[in-house]
């Protein structure tokens, strides 16, 4: 059983559409990160959320951390082909090592022109 469940696993949309990716767990996380990865490259950190209920915006991307710090979402407005990539949520469980990340299963996003 995956500690962090990410959905959807695959998403293919047209340019200009909006989308939301979810990251859910039954465990509490002290912090949660979102990464974007392109083929043949390492994941690039997009944002870190640490406070329950926190909302962070990065241009067209909006990240939210659940009040109970068990879930998070990534919303992209007016998606562009350049947003195509593998989106990964990852977090540090409250009960685990402070340095080790637990990864979600990933969401492969394809934005068609």
Partner 1 sequence: GAVVSQHPSRVICKSGTSVKIECRSLDFQATTMFWYRQFPKQSLMLMATSNEGSKATYEQGVEKDKFLINHASLTLSTLTVTSAHPEDSSFYICSANRGYEQYFGPGTRLTVT
Q: Which residues bind partner 1 (CB under 8 A)?
A: 6, 30-31, 33, 35, 40-45, 48, 50, 86, 88, 90, 92, 97-101, 103-106, 108
Q: Give the C-alpha distances (Å, rounded to integers) separating 34 from 22, 112, 113.
A: 11, 22, 24
Nearer to partner 1 by Cβ, of 38 and 77: the residue is 38
Minimum distance, C-beta of residue 78 to partner 1, in the bound complex (Å): 25
Nearer to partner 1 by Cβ, of 40 and 113: the residue is 40
Nearer to partner 1 by Cβ, of 45 and 112: the residue is 45
Q: Which residue has the tokens 């710090």?
A: 69
Q: Which helix (H) or strand (E) holds 18?
A: none
Q: Provide the phi-psi class of 62: left if phi over 0, else alpha when psi is between -120 and 50, else beta.
A: beta
């Amino acid at each position: 059983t995956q500690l962090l469940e990410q959905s959807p696993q695959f998403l293919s949309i047209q340019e200009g559409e909006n989308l939301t990716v979810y990251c859910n767990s039954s465990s509490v996380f002290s912090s949660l990160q979102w990464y974007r990865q392109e083929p043949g490259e390492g994941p690039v950190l997009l944002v870190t959320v640490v406070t329950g209920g926190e909302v962070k915006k990065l241009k067209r991307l909006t990240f939210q951390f659940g009040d109970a710090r068990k879930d998070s979402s990534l919303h992209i407005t007016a998606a562009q082909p350049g947003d195509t990539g593998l989106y990964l949520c990852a977090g540090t469980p409250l009960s685990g090592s402070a340095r080790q990340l637990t990864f979600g299963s990933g969401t492969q996003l394809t934005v068609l022109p």
